């Protein structure tokens, strides 16, 4: 059983409950004097505490995916990364692995779709990053063989792992279910983390003399995907979405590149590039770059294209409520804006899992296959 499986988690919970009950029932018998009784009490208390902490740890890991497997947890995952060489003139995207979706019939691509692990090499940015591409079942069905599909880039927060988008936030499964129930059209998802120059948090900025992260996401990535899959190259074919740092990036890229992305959705996004020890000096004293990375300033001072935006917040639990309302108020035609405001919800997976299903439906409604 895998480290993140439901069986492991519930086994730990049940064992903790059983040991707690055993401690309560056996305590009177173990209250007698003598070393055996003392050792019995110590043993029961120790086992109960260990199983309780194990259950809490497994639940936390399942939510945030700090470790993906038992080997990863115990430091036994030692396989080195694979360097993928990209010769001049070759495609900028290589498939390096595949996995099935955890749905009925998921082993067959035409029924459950397919998730491919890829390596994307940015021609203009020089950045190379791994990603996961979700292809819906329709992509493999004969009746859709000549059809193109809309696509959305999906980013985690910082530092994040792309696996979180599959296991914790369940983007592919949610997209599969929403499409199957007729709420959204089949859509390709390109899932990765914003940390494409690790360990630095570049805030999707083209850093002077440093990583050209904005160029990678706005130009290299959609070009590579369109050359490798049946995805169009027009703005109406592409969307961008993410949570936290990924949400900031999604809104910024859609705002600044309406010629490439028709829509941007930010779940619990903030609206100005962070500047701290994780980012380093992003702007090198260039105030123009710093201002352009402030989305509220950009809405006031730069032309707004035809992109659509979705922003989310909570009345209690989020610290972006005021800034989100400001963002909504500053969007002007021809741009459009929508919002989700929860009564209560923190900056966490539980909140985002309440926003992602309607967010995917919203994104689908703003994109076109052709």
Does residue 215 fall inside a structural domain?
yes
Does residue 234 fall inside a structural domain?
yes
Q: Given a cut of 90, is residue 27 above it in pLDDT?
A: no
Does residue 87 fall inside a structural domain?
no
Does residue 153 fall inside a structural domain?
yes
Asked whether residue 53 falls in the same domain as residue 118, the answer is no
Q: Given a cut of 80, is residue 76 above it in pLDDT?
A: no
Ordered alpha helix ranges (H), the chain: 6-30, 35-64, 70-73, 109-112, 162-167, 171-180, 213-215, 221-228, 245-256, 287-292, 295-301, 321-330, 349-366
Q: Identify the pLDDT of residue 92.
A: 84
Asked whether residue 58 falls in the same domain as residue 99, the answer is no
Asked whether residue 351 falls in the same domain as residue 228, the answer is yes
Asked whether residue 112 falls in the same domain as residue 173, the answer is yes
Do residues 335 and 306 touch, judged by C-beta distance below 8 A?
yes
Does residue 297 fall inside a structural domain?
yes
Q: What residues form DSSP beta bridges with 201?
A: none
Q: Identify the pLDDT of residue 32.
A: 72
Separation CA 45–CA 370 (nearest Å): 64
Asked whether residue 176 falls in the same domain as residue 302, the answer is yes
**Which of 26, 41, 73 finishes a domain?**
73
Asked whether residue 296 falls in the same domain as residue 197, the answer is yes
Asked whether residue 314 falls in the same domain as residue 172, the answer is yes
**CA gyration radius, the chain:** 24
Span 108-117, pLDDT tens digits: 999 999 999 9
Mean pLDDT of the chain: 88
Q: Identify the pLDDT of residue 69.
A: 59
Asked whether residue 290 falls in the same domain as residue 356, the answer is yes
Span 135-176, pLDDT tens digits: 999 999 999 999 999 999 999 999 888 999 999 999 999 999
Q: Given a cut of 90, is residue 312 above it in pLDDT?
A: yes
Residue 37 in tokens: 């009784």
Asked whether residue 227 falls in the same domain as residue 262, the answer is yes
Sheet of strand 128-135: strand arrangement: 93-99, 114-121, 128-135, 188-192, 151-155, 238-243, 263-267, 308-316, 336-344
Task: Tell me which residue range forms the domain holding 66.
Answer: 6-73
Asked whether residue 68 falls in the same domain as residue 102, the answer is no
Span 257-269, pLDDT tens digits: 999 999 999 999 9
Does residue 88 fall inside a structural domain?
no
Asked whether residue 121 falls in the same domain as residue 168, the answer is yes
* Angle, CA 7 vertex, CA 15 and CA 134 arms, to 5°: 155
Does residue 78 fall inside a structural domain?
no
Classified as helix, coil or strand, 25 is: helix
Asked whether residue 202 falls in the same domain as residue 242, the answer is yes
Q: Given a cut of 80, is residue 1 above it in pLDDT?
A: no
Do residues 57 and 73 touch, judged by C-beta distance below 8 A?
no
Q: What is the CATH number of the domain that holds 196?
A: 3.40.50.1820
Q: What residues form DSSP beta bridges with 240?
A: 153, 264
Count of structural domains within the chain:
2
Q: What are phi and psi of 93, to 5 degrees?
A: -135, 130
Q: Given a cut of 80, is residue 77 above it in pLDDT?
A: no
Does residue 25 fall inside a structural domain?
yes
Q: What are phi and psi of 124, to 5 degrees?
A: -85, -35
Span 332-366, pLDDT tens digits: 999 999 999 999 999 998 999 999 999 999 999 99
Do residues 324 and 313 touch, judged by C-beta distance below 8 A?
yes
Task: Read off the pLDDT band of 177 (50, 70, 90).
Answer: very high
């Amino acid at each position: 059983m895998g480290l993140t499986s439901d069986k492991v988690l519930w086994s730990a919970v049940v064992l903790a409950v059983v040991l707690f009950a055993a401690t309560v029932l056996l305590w009177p018998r173990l209250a007698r004097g003598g070393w055996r009784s003392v050792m019995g009490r110590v043993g029961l208390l120790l086992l109960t505490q260990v199983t309780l902490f194990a259950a809490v740890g497994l639940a936390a890991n399942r939510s945030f995916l700090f470790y993906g497997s038992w080997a990863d947890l115990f430091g036994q995952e030692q396989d080195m990364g694979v360097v993928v060489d990209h010769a001049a003139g070759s495609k900028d995207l290589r498939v390096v692995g595949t996995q099935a979706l955890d749905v009925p019939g998921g082993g067959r691509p035409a029924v459950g779709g397919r998730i491919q692990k890829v390596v994307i090499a940015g021609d203009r940015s020089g950045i190379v990053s791994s990603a996961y591409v979700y292809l819906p079942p329709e992509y493999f069905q004969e009746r859709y063989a000549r059809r193109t599909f809309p696509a959305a880039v999906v980013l985690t927060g910082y530092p994040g792992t792309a696996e979180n988008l599959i296991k914790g936030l369940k983007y592919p499964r949610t997209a599969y279910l929403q499409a199957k129930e007729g709420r959204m059209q089949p859509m390709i998802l390109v899932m990765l983390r914003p940390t494409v120059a690790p360990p630095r948090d570049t805030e999707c900025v083209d850093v002077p003399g440093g990583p050209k992260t904005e160029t990678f996401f706005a130009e290299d990535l959609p070009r590579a995907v369109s050359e490798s899959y049946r995805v169009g190259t027009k703005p109406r074919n592409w969307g961008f979405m993410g949570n936290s740092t990924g949400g900031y990036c999604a809104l910024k890229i859609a705002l600044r590149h309406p010629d490439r992305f028709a829509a941007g959705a930010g779940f619990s996004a903030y609206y100005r590039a962070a500047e701290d020890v994780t980012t380093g000096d992003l702007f090198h004293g260039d105030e123009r770059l710093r201002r352009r990375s402030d989305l509220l300033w950009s809405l006031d001072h730069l032309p707004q294209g035809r992109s659509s935006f979705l922003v989310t917040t909570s009345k209690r639990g989020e610290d972006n409520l005021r800034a989100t309302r400001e963002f909504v108020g500053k969007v002007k035609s021809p741009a459009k804006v929508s919002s989700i405001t929860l009564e209560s919800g923190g900056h966490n997976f539980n909140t985002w899992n309440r926003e992602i299903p309607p967010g995917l439906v919203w994104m689908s409604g703003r994109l076109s296959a052709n």
